[in-house]
């Protein structure tokens, strides 16, 4: 990957990642900022808890689209390394959005999109770990953490490439770091459990 390709991928992915659809949807449909409600996180789980299923579907589609677009750019320009580079910067954009005061979500959904584009086997293992964890504990955060931790491990198992594995490790570390408050609540047994019943603390 040339320096020019890296710069193009990084800038495009970061700017796409900065399109925080939880914030966009909450402001356009409700005239409110989701970061002032629920957990204060501009992510999918808080969107569901505070806005309900229909508006969360818009958030889901938007975040999937931006992740897919970013990783596709990386794939075309630089192959597997480009995909992971795009993944890193689209997640950073999602976490620290340029357009919204650098306060966004935790990067789990866009990270999952990146994994799906990177390698279906890596994504499949991460998703199974996520799903089983959520089924057993009802903690979305724990499932997200376990899925992230599996990423560098499976990348090494399938590729044996130190560069790809190091990039995967860095991405996993960022996601885990963003969940540090959740980890504290899990240890204390006070983490919120997922429920299909939305509280809809934000209303029209």
- For 155-193, the pLDDT digits (tens) are 999 999 999 999 999 999 999 998 998 899 999 988 888
**CA dist list (Å): 173 to 18, 49, 83, 84:** 20, 26, 18, 14
pLDDT score recorded for residue 120: 93
Same domain, 98 and 139: no
Flag residues of the chain having pLDDT under 70.
196-204
| pLDDT the model gives residue 109 | 87
Phi, then psi, of 146 in degrees rounded to 5: -65, -40
Are 115 and 128 contacting, i.e. CB atoms less than 8 angstroms apart?
no
Q: Which of 56, 76, 106 is the last residue of a domain?
A: 106
Residues ≥6 apart with Cβ < 8 Å to 60:
44, 109
The pLDDT mean for the chain works out to: 91
| Burial group, residue 151, by CB count within 10 angstroms (0-12, 13-18, 19+) | buried
Can you give the pLDDT at residue 20? 94
pLDDT of residue 202: 64
Q: Are 83 and 174 found together in one domain? A: no
The pLDDT score that the predictor gives to residue 38 is 86
> Is the domain of 80 the same as that of 139?
no
Asked whether the CA dihedral 125, 93, 63, 55 is positive or negative, the reply is: positive
Residue range of the domain that includes 75: 1-106
- What would the pLDDT profile of 127-145 be if each residue is shown by its tens digit? 999 999 999 998 989 999 9
* Residue 66 in domain: yes
Tell me the whole-structure pTM to 2 decimals.
Answer: 0.86
């Amino acid at each position: 990957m040339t320096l020019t390709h890296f710069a193009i991928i990084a800038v495009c992915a970061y700017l796409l990642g900065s399109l925080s659809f939880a914030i966009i949807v909450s402001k356009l449909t409700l005239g409110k900022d989701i970061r002032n409600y629920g957990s204060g996180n501009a992510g999918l789980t808080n969107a569901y808890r505070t806005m309900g299923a229909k508006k969360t579907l818009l958030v889901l589609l938007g975040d999937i689209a931006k992740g897919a677009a970013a990783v596709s750019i990386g794939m075309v320009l630089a192959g597997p390394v480009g995909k992971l580079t795009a993944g890193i910067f689209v997640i950073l954009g999602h976490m620290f959005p340029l357009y919204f005061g650098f306060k966004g979500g935790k990067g789990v959904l866009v990270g999952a999109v990146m994994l799906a584009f990177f390698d279906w086997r890596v994504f499949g293992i991460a998703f199974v770990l996520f799903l089983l964890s959520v089924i057993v504990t009802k903690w979305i955060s724990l499932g997200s953490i376990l899925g992230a931790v599996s990423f560098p491990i499976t990348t090494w198992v399938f590729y044996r490439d130190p560069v790809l594995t190091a990039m995967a490790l860095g991405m996993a570390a960022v996601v885990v770091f963003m969940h540090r408050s959740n980890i504290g609540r899990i240890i204390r047994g006070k983490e919120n459990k997922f429920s299909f019943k939305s509280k809809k603390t934000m209303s029209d």
